[in-house]
Structures are given as C-alpha cells and as structure tokens.
C-alpha cells in the first residue's frame, strides 16, 4: 500500500499578528499531530528563548554557509536578520508520513509556494490594522526603531494574502487555533491527497 507523504503546513502572516502565540497554543494541545520545524535565525535570543527550542541561533557566517550548501528549504532577511527553515528535517519528517508545521514570514512562504505547491498555505490576519500596530508596540520586546520597521513591513505583508489558500482571522487565539485545526483536517480529506491510496488499493497493491 502506498504510504501517504505528510502534509507541509505553512502558517504565515504579518509581523505582530500573533503567529508565535497561535503556534505555541496549537503545540500545547494534547491532540496535536503535526511536528513543528524549528527555524534558524541570526537574531539575538529574547529573554527566555532557548537555543534548539525556540530557534537554532546562528552567526551570520554560519547561516550564509548553510544557504550556500543548499541546507535551507527557504530563507528570508527580515528587519536585518536572517530566518530560514532547515531542509533535511522537513523532508525526513514528510517522508515518514508526518505533517510538518512551519511558522514563517511571507517572503519565505512565497518561496515554498514555488518549491512545494502542494503545501497548505494559511494566512493569519489581524482583526484590524490598528490592532496590529497596538500589538507590535505593546509586545515591548523591541526598540522603537525596530517596531517602526516592523509596522512598515506589516503593511506590505498584508498585501501578500493572495498567495494563500486560507485566511484565518486572529480575533482570539483559541478561535484561530480551532479554525487552523479544522482546515488541516479538511485538507487531509482532499481528493487529490487521498485518491492515490484508493487507486493502489483497486490495483491490489
Ligand atoms: P521573530 O524575530 O519575531 O521571532 O520573527 C520574525 C519573523 O520571522 C516572524 O514573522 C516569524 O514568523 C518569521 N520567521 C520565523 N522563522 C522563520 C523561518 O524559518 N523562515 C522565514 N522566512 N521566516 C521565519
């Protein structure tokens, strides 16, 4: 019998929309049955962040060497730092039939759209632009200069919504998580994803 490959799930959206919070909530649920791909970054760890848990924290030269070696599925420069998805982990996990969940910004999502068009693309949207700005300022983790850059970037990022399959409004974290889980469940029933298995059954494989 043909083993189905795992589903690559891409959660993306503007900075400050709450991707990290939604992702952490999803992974704190006992019934989560997809694997989180830990990203690499050159930014400094925030207070409480742990290397190998929140990110793999790398020096710029290390990150650039990985790009050269083709070790990243996608990468992007975001407000002065590199962020990227390690390729090997994603392939190994998908090949083992497990779903992989990425939480990344929009430039990286656009690269994956090119490389893996059968991935599932979910755009997390803010209830309003005012709310998005308030969240970026209220988070208190960045300097005024960095916040201003992130707000400017967020407006451009909102325009990228058209690249995605689904839009989930993050009005409440629990609501957003419910919608994401429903989308993933439905995606697993999509005819294109399951028909190979049935065709091989019909052939007696
Ligand atoms: P932060 O510095 O707030 O942790 O992340 C900044 C942005 O980078 C967020 O939008 C986050 O989703 C995104 N990001 C995190 N990991 C990756 C990655 O591997 N690739 C890309 N392209 N973006 C990422």
Which CATH number fits the domain that encloses residue 176? Answer: 3.40.50.300
Reply yes or no on whether the pLDDT at 205 is more than 80.
no
Residue-level pLDDT at 67: 97
**Could you tell me which residue, 164 or 117, shows the higher pLDDT?**
164
Is 13's C-beta closer than 6 angstroms to any atom of ligand 1? no
Q: Are 123 and 167 in contact (CB under 8 A)?
A: yes
Q: Judge whether 15 is annotated as a binding position.
A: yes
Lowest mean pLDDT among 6-10, 25-29, 82-86, 132-136: 132-136
Helix-strand-coil percent breakdown of the chain, rounded to 5? 45, 20, 30
Q: How confident is the model over 152-162, as a mean pLDDT?
A: 85
Q: How confident is the model over 47-69, as a mean pLDDT?
A: 97
Q: Is residue 70 included in any domain, yes or no?
A: no
Q: Is residue 54 included in any domain, yes or no?
A: no
- Strand partners of residue 82: 77
Angle (CA) 170 117 29, round 5°: 40
Q: Is residue 177 included in any domain, yes or no?
A: yes
- CA–centroid distance, 103 to ligand 1, in Å, is 7
Q: Work out how many domains the chain is built from and give that number.
A: 1
Q: Is residue 123 included in any domain, yes or no?
A: yes
Cross-sheet strand order for the sheet of 8-12: 34-36, 99-103, 8-12, 120-125, 166-169
**Could you tell me which residue, 16 or 41, shows the higher pLDDT?**
41
Ligand 1: atom nearest CA of 84 is: 19
Tell me the C-alpha distance between 76 and 53, whole Å: 20
Tell me the C-alpha distance between 5 and 95, whole Å: 6
Q: Is residue 153 included in any domain, yes or no?
A: yes
Pocket test for ligand 1, best of 20, 43, 45, 78 (most atoms within 8 A of CB): 78
Model confidence at 79, pLDDT cuts 50, 70, 90, reads confident
Ligand 1: atom nearest CA of 109 is: 22
Q: How confident is the model over 158-170, as a mean pLDDT?
A: 93
Q: Mean pLDDT over all residues of the chain?
A: 92
Q: Mark 6-33 as b/e (b = at least 16 C-beta within 10 Å).
A: bbbbbbbbbbbbbbeebbebbeeeeebe
- Strand partners of residue 123: 12, 167
Q: Is residue 103 included in any domain, yes or no?
A: yes
Q: How confident is the model over 67-90, as a mean pLDDT?
A: 96
Reply yes or no on whether the pLDDT at 166 is more than 60.
yes
Q: Judge whether 13 is annotated as a binding position.
A: yes
H-run or E-run covering 187: helix 173-188
Nearest Cα residue to 147 out of 157, 135, 163? 135
Q: Which domain holds residue 155?
A: 8-37+99-202
- Residue 102 CB-density burial (10 A; 0-12 exposed, 13-18 middle, 19+ buried): buried
Q: Is residue 85 included in any domain, yes or no?
A: no
Q: Is residue 2 included in any domain, yes or no?
A: no
């Amino acid at each position: 019998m043909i083993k189905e490959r795992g589903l690559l799930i891409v959660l993306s959206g503007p900075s400050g929309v709450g991707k990290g919070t939604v992702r952490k909530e999803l992974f704190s649920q006992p019934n989560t049955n997809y694997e989180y791909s830990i990203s690499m970054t050159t930014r400094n760890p925030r207070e409480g962040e742990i290397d190998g848990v929140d990110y793999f924290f790398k020096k710029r030269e290390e990150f650039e060497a990985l790009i050269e070696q083709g070790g990243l599925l996608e990468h992007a420069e975001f407000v002065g730092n590199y962020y990227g998805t390690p390729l090997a982990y994603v392939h190994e996990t998908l090949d083992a039939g497990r779903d992989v969940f990425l939480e990344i910004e929009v430039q990286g999502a656009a690269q994956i759209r090119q490389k893996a068009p059968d991935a599932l693309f979910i755009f997390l949207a803010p209830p309003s632009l005012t709310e998005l700005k308030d969240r970026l300022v209220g988070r208190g983790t960045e300097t005024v200069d960095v916040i201003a850059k992130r707000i400017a970037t967020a407006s451009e990022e909102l325009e990228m919504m058209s690249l995605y399959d689904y839009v989930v409004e993050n009005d409440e974290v629990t609501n957003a998580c419910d919608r994401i889980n429903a989308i993933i469940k439905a995606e697993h029933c999509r005819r294109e994803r399951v028909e190979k298995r049935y065709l091989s059954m019909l052939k007696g494989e």
